[in-house]
Amino acid sequence: MVGSIKTMNHHSNGWSAQKCNGLEEKLDELRSLLGKADGDPLRIVGVGAGAWGSVFAALLQDSYGRFREKVQIRIWRRPGRAVDRATAEHLFEVINSREDVLRRLIRRCAYLKYVEARLGDRTLFADEILKDGFCLNMIDAPLCPLKVVTNLQEAVWDADIVVNGVPSTETREVFEEISQYWKERITAPIIISLAKGIEAALEPVPHIITPTQMINRATGVQMQNILYLGGPNIASEIYNKEYANARICGADKWRKPLAKFLRQPHFIVWDNSDLVTHEVMGGLKNVYAIGAGMVAALTNESATSKSVYFAHCTSEMIFITHLLAEEPEKLAGPLLADTYVTLLKGRNAWYGQMLAKGEISLDMGDSISGKGMIQGVSAVGAFYELLSQSSLSVLHPDEKKPVAPVELCPILKTLYKILIIREQSSQAILQALRDETLNDPRERIEIAQSHAFYRPSLLGQPLATLHCQ
Protein backbone atom coordinates (compact mmCIF):
# COMPACT_ATOMS: atom_id res chain seq x y z
CA MET A 1 0.00 0.00 0.00
CA VAL A 2 1.39 3.40 -0.95
CA GLY A 3 2.27 5.29 2.20
CA SER A 4 2.78 2.20 4.34
CA ILE A 5 5.76 2.27 6.63
CA LYS A 6 8.85 0.28 5.77
CA THR A 7 12.30 1.01 7.06
CA MET A 8 15.10 1.35 4.53
CA ASN A 9 17.56 -1.52 4.52
CA HIS A 10 20.65 0.60 5.04
CA HIS A 11 19.11 1.99 8.23
CA SER A 12 17.66 -1.25 9.60
CA ASN A 13 20.63 -3.58 9.02
CA GLY A 14 22.88 -3.98 12.02
CA TRP A 15 20.31 -3.11 14.62
CA SER A 16 20.93 -5.33 17.61
CA ALA A 17 18.20 -6.48 19.98
CA GLN A 18 19.86 -4.42 22.67
CA LYS A 19 19.57 -1.20 20.62
CA CYS A 20 15.93 -1.94 19.76
CA ASN A 21 15.17 -2.55 23.42
CA GLY A 22 16.85 0.72 24.34
CA LEU A 23 14.65 2.59 21.88
CA GLU A 24 11.55 0.86 23.13
CA GLU A 25 12.42 1.81 26.70
CA LYS A 26 12.75 5.48 25.71
CA LEU A 27 9.43 5.28 23.88
CA ASP A 28 7.77 3.65 26.89
CA GLU A 29 9.13 6.35 29.20
CA LEU A 30 7.68 9.14 27.06
CA ARG A 31 4.37 7.30 26.66
CA SER A 32 4.17 6.96 30.44
CA LEU A 33 4.82 10.68 30.98
CA LEU A 34 2.03 11.47 28.55
CA GLY A 35 -0.33 9.04 30.25
CA LYS A 36 -0.78 6.78 27.21
CA ALA A 37 -2.68 3.56 27.87
CA ASP A 38 -1.85 0.21 26.28
CA GLY A 39 -3.37 0.03 22.82
CA ASP A 40 -3.39 3.82 22.44
CA PRO A 41 -0.45 4.81 20.22
CA LEU A 42 1.62 7.92 20.83
CA ARG A 43 0.66 10.17 17.90
CA ILE A 44 3.51 12.29 16.50
CA VAL A 45 2.73 14.59 13.57
CA GLY A 46 5.13 16.72 11.57
CA VAL A 47 3.48 19.84 10.15
CA GLY A 48 5.31 20.97 7.03
CA ALA A 49 7.54 18.96 4.75
CA GLY A 50 10.55 21.12 4.04
CA ALA A 51 14.02 19.61 4.27
CA TRP A 52 14.40 19.75 8.06
CA GLY A 53 10.77 18.92 8.78
CA SER A 54 10.92 15.86 6.51
CA VAL A 55 14.26 14.68 7.90
CA PHE A 56 13.01 15.08 11.47
CA ALA A 57 9.98 12.90 10.74
CA ALA A 58 12.17 10.37 8.91
CA LEU A 59 14.60 10.15 11.84
CA LEU A 60 11.71 9.36 14.17
CA GLN A 61 10.28 6.85 11.69
CA ASP A 62 13.61 5.07 11.32
CA SER A 63 14.07 4.88 15.09
CA TYR A 64 10.59 4.22 16.40
CA GLY A 65 8.45 3.24 13.40
CA ARG A 66 8.96 -0.47 14.09
CA PHE A 67 6.91 -0.16 17.29
CA ARG A 68 3.65 0.30 15.44
CA GLU A 69 1.36 -0.54 18.32
CA LYS A 70 3.01 2.08 20.51
CA VAL A 71 3.66 5.02 18.19
CA GLN A 72 2.22 6.50 15.02
CA ILE A 73 4.38 8.93 13.03
CA ARG A 74 2.89 11.02 10.25
CA ILE A 75 3.71 14.16 8.31
CA TRP A 76 1.38 16.77 6.82
CA ARG A 77 2.04 18.77 3.72
CA ARG A 78 -0.23 20.74 1.44
CA PRO A 79 -1.54 18.78 -1.55
CA GLY A 80 -1.37 19.75 -5.20
CA ARG A 81 2.26 20.87 -5.58
CA ALA A 82 3.33 19.46 -8.97
CA VAL A 83 6.89 18.25 -9.61
CA ASP A 84 8.24 19.92 -12.74
CA ARG A 85 9.70 17.89 -15.59
CA ALA A 86 13.34 18.79 -14.88
CA THR A 87 12.99 17.77 -11.23
CA ALA A 88 11.26 14.52 -12.24
CA GLU A 89 14.17 13.69 -14.56
CA HIS A 90 16.69 14.42 -11.82
CA LEU A 91 14.66 12.35 -9.37
CA PHE A 92 14.80 9.41 -11.77
CA GLU A 93 18.59 9.72 -11.94
CA VAL A 94 18.83 9.74 -8.13
CA ILE A 95 16.64 6.64 -7.88
CA ASN A 96 18.76 4.71 -10.36
CA SER A 97 21.99 5.72 -8.64
CA ARG A 98 20.86 4.17 -5.34
CA GLU A 99 20.37 0.43 -5.47
CA ASP A 100 18.57 0.33 -2.12
CA VAL A 101 16.09 2.99 -3.24
CA LEU A 102 15.58 1.36 -6.63
CA ARG A 103 14.86 -2.03 -5.08
CA ARG A 104 12.49 -0.50 -2.56
CA LEU A 105 10.45 1.27 -5.23
CA ILE A 106 10.27 -1.84 -7.39
CA ARG A 107 9.19 -3.87 -4.37
CA ARG A 108 6.47 -1.31 -3.64
CA CYS A 109 5.35 -1.31 -7.29
CA ALA A 110 6.11 2.43 -7.39
CA TYR A 111 9.01 2.54 -9.84
CA LEU A 112 6.92 2.75 -13.01
CA LYS A 113 5.42 6.12 -12.14
CA TYR A 114 8.93 7.63 -11.94
CA VAL A 115 9.73 6.20 -15.38
CA GLU A 116 6.54 7.75 -16.75
CA ALA A 117 7.32 11.09 -15.08
CA ARG A 118 10.79 11.17 -16.63
CA LEU A 119 9.23 10.61 -20.05
CA GLY A 120 6.66 13.35 -19.47
CA ASP A 121 3.77 10.90 -19.52
CA ARG A 122 2.80 11.56 -15.90
CA THR A 123 2.82 14.42 -13.42
CA LEU A 124 4.11 13.65 -9.95
CA PHE A 125 3.06 15.60 -6.87
CA ALA A 126 5.13 16.55 -3.85
CA ASP A 127 2.90 14.74 -1.34
CA GLU A 128 2.96 11.64 -3.57
CA ILE A 129 6.74 11.39 -3.75
CA LEU A 130 7.07 12.15 -0.03
CA LYS A 131 5.26 8.88 0.67
CA ASP A 132 8.12 7.20 -1.17
CA GLY A 133 10.73 9.13 0.80
CA PHE A 134 11.55 12.08 -1.47
CA CYS A 135 11.44 15.65 -0.14
CA LEU A 136 10.98 18.17 -2.94
CA ASN A 137 13.53 20.49 -1.32
CA MET A 138 16.12 17.72 -0.95
CA ILE A 139 15.84 15.45 -4.00
CA ASP A 140 19.44 14.24 -3.79
CA ALA A 141 18.98 12.73 -0.31
CA PRO A 142 16.27 10.03 -0.26
CA LEU A 143 14.54 9.34 3.04
CA CYS A 144 12.57 6.38 4.33
CA PRO A 145 8.92 6.12 3.22
CA LEU A 146 6.62 8.30 5.28
CA LYS A 147 2.95 8.26 6.13
CA VAL A 148 1.73 11.48 4.51
CA VAL A 149 -1.53 13.23 5.32
CA THR A 150 -2.75 16.14 3.19
CA ASN A 151 -5.76 17.07 5.34
CA LEU A 152 -4.56 19.27 8.20
CA GLN A 153 -7.50 18.49 10.47
CA GLU A 154 -6.98 14.76 10.05
CA ALA A 155 -3.29 15.17 10.77
CA VAL A 156 -3.43 17.16 13.99
CA TRP A 157 -6.77 16.81 15.76
CA ASP A 158 -5.66 13.97 18.07
CA ALA A 159 -1.87 14.48 17.93
CA ASP A 160 0.10 14.15 21.16
CA ILE A 161 3.25 15.78 19.75
CA VAL A 162 3.20 18.26 16.87
CA VAL A 163 6.47 19.21 15.18
CA ASN A 164 6.35 22.60 13.49
CA GLY A 165 8.34 22.30 10.27
CA VAL A 166 6.73 25.18 8.35
CA PRO A 167 8.71 28.41 7.83
CA SER A 168 8.32 31.20 10.37
CA THR A 169 6.51 33.27 7.74
CA GLU A 170 3.76 30.63 7.55
CA THR A 171 3.66 29.48 11.18
CA ARG A 172 0.96 31.85 12.40
CA GLU A 173 -1.42 31.09 9.55
CA VAL A 174 -1.05 27.32 9.84
CA PHE A 175 -1.48 27.23 13.62
CA GLU A 176 -4.46 29.57 13.54
CA GLU A 177 -6.11 26.94 11.36
CA ILE A 178 -4.94 24.16 13.67
CA SER A 179 -6.46 25.95 16.67
CA GLN A 180 -9.91 25.47 15.11
CA TYR A 181 -9.42 21.70 15.31
CA TRP A 182 -8.31 21.75 18.94
CA LYS A 183 -11.31 23.52 20.45
CA GLU A 184 -12.68 20.31 21.93
CA ARG A 185 -9.38 19.00 23.24
CA ILE A 186 -9.16 18.22 26.94
CA THR A 187 -5.37 17.97 27.14
CA ALA A 188 -2.92 20.23 25.33
CA PRO A 189 -0.41 18.69 22.92
CA ILE A 190 3.34 19.17 23.07
CA ILE A 191 4.66 21.32 20.22
CA ILE A 192 8.28 21.28 19.04
CA SER A 193 9.12 24.12 16.65
CA LEU A 194 11.96 23.78 14.16
CA ALA A 195 11.36 27.19 12.53
CA LYS A 196 14.18 29.76 12.42
CA GLY A 197 12.91 33.24 11.77
CA ILE A 198 11.37 36.24 13.48
CA GLU A 199 8.83 39.00 13.02
CA ALA A 200 9.01 42.56 14.32
CA ALA A 201 6.28 44.32 16.30
CA LEU A 202 6.48 47.96 17.36
CA GLU A 203 3.57 48.23 19.79
CA PRO A 204 3.39 48.73 22.69
CA VAL A 205 7.19 48.74 22.52
CA PRO A 206 9.54 47.39 19.79
CA HIS A 207 9.85 43.64 20.25
CA ILE A 208 10.52 40.37 18.47
CA ILE A 209 7.88 37.74 17.83
CA THR A 210 9.24 34.20 17.42
CA PRO A 211 7.53 31.12 15.98
CA THR A 212 6.91 29.62 19.44
CA GLN A 213 5.22 32.85 20.49
CA MET A 214 3.16 32.82 17.29
CA ILE A 215 2.05 29.27 18.10
CA ASN A 216 1.17 30.22 21.68
CA ARG A 217 -0.95 33.17 20.56
CA ALA A 218 -2.61 31.28 17.71
CA THR A 219 -3.56 28.16 19.69
CA GLY A 220 -3.66 29.15 23.35
CA VAL A 221 -1.34 26.25 24.17
CA GLN A 222 0.75 27.32 27.17
CA MET A 223 4.42 28.11 26.60
CA GLN A 224 5.46 25.27 28.94
CA ASN A 225 4.17 22.87 26.25
CA ILE A 226 5.96 24.63 23.37
CA LEU A 227 9.65 24.00 22.69
CA TYR A 228 12.25 25.01 20.13
CA LEU A 229 14.82 22.64 18.65
CA GLY A 230 17.77 23.97 16.68
CA GLY A 231 21.46 23.58 16.14
CA PRO A 232 24.34 23.71 13.66
CA ASN A 233 23.16 21.16 11.16
CA ILE A 234 22.36 20.44 7.53
CA ALA A 235 19.25 18.27 7.21
CA SER A 236 20.49 15.85 4.53
CA GLU A 237 23.77 15.27 6.35
CA ILE A 238 21.98 14.47 9.60
CA TYR A 239 19.88 11.86 7.83
CA ASN A 240 23.05 10.38 6.33
CA LYS A 241 24.31 9.99 9.89
CA GLU A 242 26.96 12.69 9.95
CA TYR A 243 27.61 13.46 13.61
CA ALA A 244 25.50 16.42 14.71
CA ASN A 245 24.10 18.08 17.79
CA ALA A 246 21.15 20.28 18.64
CA ARG A 247 19.44 21.84 21.65
CA ILE A 248 15.84 21.52 22.64
CA CYS A 249 14.83 24.60 24.59
CA GLY A 250 11.83 25.19 26.79
CA ALA A 251 10.24 24.30 30.10
CA ASP A 252 11.92 21.68 32.29
CA LYS A 253 8.81 19.47 32.33
CA TRP A 254 9.22 18.38 28.72
CA ARG A 255 12.63 19.39 27.41
CA LYS A 256 14.62 16.78 29.33
CA PRO A 257 12.36 13.81 28.46
CA LEU A 258 12.20 14.94 24.83
CA ALA A 259 15.98 15.40 24.64
CA LYS A 260 16.37 11.81 25.76
CA PHE A 261 13.69 10.58 23.35
CA LEU A 262 15.22 12.38 20.35
CA ARG A 263 18.87 11.57 21.11
CA GLN A 264 20.60 9.13 18.78
CA PRO A 265 24.24 7.98 18.56
CA HIS A 266 24.88 10.35 15.65
CA PHE A 267 22.44 13.11 16.70
CA ILE A 268 23.08 14.36 20.21
CA VAL A 269 20.31 16.50 21.68
CA TRP A 270 21.09 18.71 24.67
CA ASP A 271 18.52 20.75 26.57
CA ASN A 272 18.37 24.36 27.70
CA SER A 273 15.83 26.53 29.52
CA ASP A 274 16.47 29.65 27.42
CA LEU A 275 13.83 29.21 24.75
CA VAL A 276 13.33 32.61 23.17
CA THR A 277 16.93 33.79 22.87
CA HIS A 278 18.08 30.52 21.27
CA GLU A 279 15.16 30.78 18.88
CA VAL A 280 16.03 34.37 17.97
CA MET A 281 19.69 33.47 17.43
CA GLY A 282 18.56 30.80 14.98
CA GLY A 283 16.98 33.57 12.93
CA LEU A 284 19.84 36.04 13.29
CA LYS A 285 22.49 33.88 11.64
CA ASN A 286 20.32 33.57 8.50
CA VAL A 287 20.56 37.33 8.02
CA TYR A 288 24.33 37.35 7.75
CA ALA A 289 24.51 34.09 5.81
CA ILE A 290 22.89 35.81 2.82
CA GLY A 291 25.60 38.47 2.82
CA ALA A 292 28.30 35.81 3.11
CA GLY A 293 26.98 34.13 -0.02
CA MET A 294 27.09 37.42 -1.88
CA VAL A 295 30.67 38.09 -0.84
CA ALA A 296 31.76 34.58 -1.87
CA ALA A 297 30.21 34.95 -5.33
CA LEU A 298 31.42 38.49 -5.95
CA THR A 299 35.04 37.74 -4.97
CA ASN A 300 35.32 34.33 -6.65
CA GLU A 301 35.43 32.59 -3.27
CA SER A 302 38.27 34.78 -1.98
CA ALA A 303 39.25 33.47 1.43
CA THR A 304 40.54 36.91 2.40
CA SER A 305 37.32 38.72 1.49
CA LYS A 306 35.21 36.10 3.21
CA SER A 307 37.27 36.40 6.39
CA VAL A 308 36.89 40.20 6.35
CA TYR A 309 33.14 39.77 6.02
CA PHE A 310 33.11 37.16 8.79
CA ALA A 311 34.89 39.53 11.17
CA HIS A 312 32.37 42.30 10.56
CA CYS A 313 29.24 40.13 10.55
CA THR A 314 30.17 38.28 13.73
CA SER A 315 30.89 41.56 15.51
CA GLU A 316 27.42 42.78 14.51
CA MET A 317 25.85 39.54 15.74
CA ILE A 318 27.68 39.88 19.07
CA PHE A 319 26.51 43.48 19.30
CA ILE A 320 22.89 42.47 18.66
CA THR A 321 23.17 39.53 21.07
CA HIS A 322 24.10 41.93 23.87
CA LEU A 323 20.87 43.80 23.23
CA LEU A 324 18.82 40.62 23.37
CA ALA A 325 20.36 38.48 26.09
CA GLU A 326 21.18 39.07 29.74
CA GLU A 327 24.10 36.64 29.54
CA PRO A 328 25.15 36.82 25.86
CA GLU A 329 28.42 34.97 26.41
CA LYS A 330 26.42 31.76 26.92
CA LEU A 331 25.11 32.06 23.36
CA ALA A 332 28.43 32.75 21.65
CA GLY A 333 29.35 29.13 20.95
CA PRO A 334 25.94 27.95 19.66
CA LEU A 335 25.47 31.11 17.58
CA LEU A 336 28.89 30.90 15.91
CA ALA A 337 28.51 27.17 15.26
CA ASP A 338 25.09 27.66 13.67
CA THR A 339 26.44 30.57 11.63
CA TYR A 340 29.44 28.57 10.47
CA VAL A 341 27.43 25.63 9.13
CA THR A 342 24.95 27.97 7.44
CA LEU A 343 27.78 29.81 5.71
CA LEU A 344 29.29 26.52 4.57
CA LYS A 345 26.22 24.85 3.13
CA GLY A 346 22.99 26.57 4.14
CA ARG A 347 20.22 27.70 1.81
CA ASN A 348 20.55 31.34 2.88
CA ALA A 349 24.20 31.51 1.84
CA TRP A 350 23.26 29.74 -1.40
CA TYR A 351 20.55 32.36 -1.99
CA GLY A 352 23.06 35.19 -1.56
CA GLN A 353 25.41 33.52 -4.02
CA MET A 354 22.71 33.03 -6.64
CA LEU A 355 21.52 36.63 -6.30
CA ALA A 356 25.05 37.97 -6.72
CA LYS A 357 25.65 35.75 -9.77
CA GLY A 358 22.36 36.85 -11.33
CA GLU A 359 21.06 33.27 -11.49
CA ILE A 360 17.99 34.23 -9.46
CA SER A 361 16.33 37.60 -8.85
CA LEU A 362 14.55 39.25 -5.96
CA ASP A 363 11.38 39.26 -8.06
CA MET A 364 11.28 35.47 -7.72
CA GLY A 365 10.38 35.93 -4.06
CA ASP A 366 11.93 34.19 -1.08
CA SER A 367 10.44 30.73 -1.71
CA ILE A 368 12.73 29.05 -4.22
CA SER A 369 11.96 25.81 -6.03
CA GLY A 370 14.15 22.99 -4.77
CA LYS A 371 15.29 24.99 -1.73
CA GLY A 372 12.14 26.10 0.05
CA MET A 373 11.71 29.28 2.07
CA ILE A 374 14.73 31.57 2.42
CA GLN A 375 13.93 32.76 5.93
CA GLY A 376 16.84 35.17 6.13
CA VAL A 377 15.11 37.66 3.84
CA SER A 378 12.20 38.36 6.19
CA ALA A 379 14.63 38.30 9.14
CA VAL A 380 16.67 41.11 7.54
CA GLY A 381 13.54 43.27 7.41
CA ALA A 382 12.51 42.38 10.96
CA PHE A 383 15.90 43.01 12.61
CA TYR A 384 16.37 46.27 10.68
CA GLU A 385 12.93 47.53 11.64
CA LEU A 386 13.49 46.74 15.31
CA LEU A 387 17.01 48.09 15.58
CA SER A 388 16.17 51.32 13.76
CA GLN A 389 13.85 52.42 16.60
CA SER A 390 15.11 55.51 18.40
CA SER A 391 13.71 54.22 21.70
CA LEU A 392 16.53 51.65 21.71
CA SER A 393 19.26 54.23 21.05
CA VAL A 394 22.87 53.72 22.09
CA LEU A 395 25.77 56.15 22.26
CA HIS A 396 27.72 56.45 19.01
CA PRO A 397 31.46 56.03 19.83
CA ASP A 398 32.67 58.79 17.50
CA GLU A 399 29.79 61.24 17.30
CA LYS A 400 29.09 60.94 21.04
CA LYS A 401 25.35 61.17 20.53
CA PRO A 402 22.48 58.68 20.80
CA VAL A 403 21.76 56.71 17.63
CA ALA A 404 19.54 53.77 16.78
CA PRO A 405 21.45 50.47 17.15
CA VAL A 406 21.22 49.76 13.43
CA GLU A 407 23.55 52.71 12.78
CA LEU A 408 26.33 50.58 14.28
CA CYS A 409 25.45 47.61 12.06
CA PRO A 410 26.55 48.58 8.52
CA ILE A 411 26.22 45.04 7.12
CA LEU A 412 22.62 44.76 8.30
CA LYS A 413 21.87 48.22 6.85
CA THR A 414 23.36 47.23 3.50
CA LEU A 415 21.46 43.95 3.34
CA TYR A 416 18.25 45.86 4.04
CA LYS A 417 18.96 48.22 1.15
CA ILE A 418 19.69 45.28 -1.17
CA LEU A 419 16.96 42.84 -0.20
CA ILE A 420 14.08 44.84 1.23
CA ILE A 421 13.93 48.32 -0.31
CA ARG A 422 16.07 47.27 -3.30
CA GLU A 423 17.83 50.57 -3.73
CA GLN A 424 21.25 48.92 -4.09
CA SER A 425 22.64 45.89 -5.93
CA SER A 426 24.52 42.99 -4.40
CA GLN A 427 27.78 44.82 -5.16
CA ALA A 428 26.95 47.15 -2.28
CA ILE A 429 27.97 44.47 0.20
CA LEU A 430 31.58 44.79 -1.02
CA GLN A 431 31.39 48.58 -0.87
CA ALA A 432 30.33 48.30 2.76
CA LEU A 433 33.33 46.08 3.55
CA ARG A 434 35.76 48.39 1.76
CA ASP A 435 34.56 51.59 3.39
CA GLU A 436 37.69 53.08 4.96
CA THR A 437 35.56 54.84 7.58
CA LEU A 438 34.21 51.51 8.86
CA ASN A 439 35.09 50.96 12.51
CA ASP A 440 37.31 48.10 13.59
CA PRO A 441 34.88 45.27 14.42
CA ARG A 442 36.66 44.90 17.76
CA GLU A 443 35.36 48.36 18.72
CA ARG A 444 31.76 47.29 18.13
CA ILE A 445 32.22 44.36 20.49
CA GLU A 446 33.85 46.60 23.10
CA ILE A 447 30.92 49.02 22.89
CA ALA A 448 28.47 46.21 23.51
CA GLN A 449 30.47 44.84 26.41
CA SER A 450 31.05 48.18 28.11
CA HIS A 451 27.44 49.40 28.25
CA ALA A 452 24.24 48.19 29.87
CA PHE A 453 22.84 47.22 26.49
CA TYR A 454 20.42 44.50 27.52
CA ARG A 455 16.82 45.28 26.46
CA PRO A 456 14.48 42.53 27.78
CA SER A 457 11.57 44.34 26.12
CA LEU A 458 12.98 43.32 22.72
CA LEU A 459 11.98 39.74 23.43
CA GLY A 460 8.46 40.82 24.28
CA GLN A 461 8.69 39.72 27.90
CA PRO A 462 9.68 41.30 31.21
CA LEU A 463 13.02 40.27 32.66
CA ALA A 464 11.54 37.88 35.22
CA THR A 465 9.92 35.63 32.62
CA LEU A 466 12.63 35.41 30.02
CA HIS A 467 13.67 31.92 31.04
CA CYS A 468 11.24 29.00 31.03
CA GLN A 469 11.55 27.06 34.24
Looking at the structure, tell me whether residues 447 and 355 fall in a common domain.
Answer: yes
Q: Which tens digits make up the pLDDT trace of 97-127?
A: 999 999 999 999 999 999 999 999 999 999 9
Distance set, CA 413 to CA 198, 344, 384, 387 (Å): 17, 23, 7, 10
Question: Rounded to 5 degrees, what angle do the CA atoms 9, 75, 243 make?
Answer: 50
- Max Cα distance, the chain (Å): 72
**Residue type for 19, please?**
K
Q: Is the pLDDT of residue 14 over 60?
A: no
Q: Does the annotation mark 285 as catalytic? A: yes
Q: Cα 190 vs. chain centroid, distance in angstroms? A: 18
Cα–Cα distance for residue pair 292/451, rounded to 1 Å = 29
Is residue 444 domain-resident? yes
Looking at the structure, tell me whether residues 306 and 240 fall in a common domain.
Answer: no
Number of domains into which the chain is organized: 3
Nearest to 139 by CA among 49, 11, 266: 49
Beta strand 42-47 with 161-164: parallel, antiparallel or unpaired?
Answer: parallel
Q: Are 58 and 143 in contact (CB under 8 A)?
A: yes
Looking at the structure, tell me whether residues 395 and 269 fall in a common domain.
Answer: no
Last residue of a domain, one of 248, 273, 298: 273
Last residue of a domain, one of 208, 240, 273: 273
Name, in order, each residue with C-beta under 8 angstroms of 20's C-beta and a sequence gap of 6 or more: 66
Is residue 15 domain-resident? no
- Taken as a whole, the chain contains a residue count of 469
Is residue 135 domain-resident? no
Is residue 228 domain-resident? yes
Cα–Cα distance for residue pair 433/296, rounded to 1 Å = 13
34 — pLDDT class (breaks 50, 70, 90): very high
Is residue 247 domain-resident? yes
Q: Which tens digits make up the pLDDT trace of 344-385?
A: 889 999 999 999 999 999 999 888 888 888 989 999 999 999
Residue 332, domain CATH = 1.10.1040.10
Is residue 14 domain-resident? no
Global confidence as pTM = 0.89
Cα–Cα distance for residue pair 376/393, rounded to 1 Å = 24
Cα–Cα distance for residue pair 33/17, rounded to 1 Å = 24
Q: Which tens digits make up the pLDDT trace of 286-301?
A: 999 999 999 999 999 9
Phi, psi of 123 (to 5 degrees): -100, 125
Report, in angstroms and rounded to the nearest whole number, the Rg of the chain calculated over CA atoms: 23
Cα–Cα distance for residue pair 108/78, rounded to 1 Å = 24
19 — pLDDT class (breaks 50, 70, 90): low
Is residue 469 domain-resident? no
Looking at the structure, tell me whether residues 172 and 51 fall in a common domain.
Answer: yes
pLDDT for residue 2: 36
Last residue of a domain, one of 273, 305, 327: 273
Cα–Cα distance for residue pair 338/185, rounded to 1 Å = 37
Section 138-165 average pLDDT: 97
Looking at the structure, tell me whether residues 267 and 415 fall in a common domain.
Answer: no
**Residues above pLDDT 90, as percent of the chain:** 69
Full domain range(s) for residue 156: 37-80+147-273
Active-site residue, from 70, 113, 147, 285? 285
Of 74-78, 212-216, 463-467, the range with the lowest mean pLDDT is 463-467
Looking at the structure, tell me whether residues 97 and 73 fall in a common domain.
Answer: no
Q: Are 221 and 188 in contact (CB under 8 A)?
A: yes
Is residue 26 domain-resident? no
Looking at the structure, tell me whether residues 116 and 72 fall in a common domain.
Answer: no
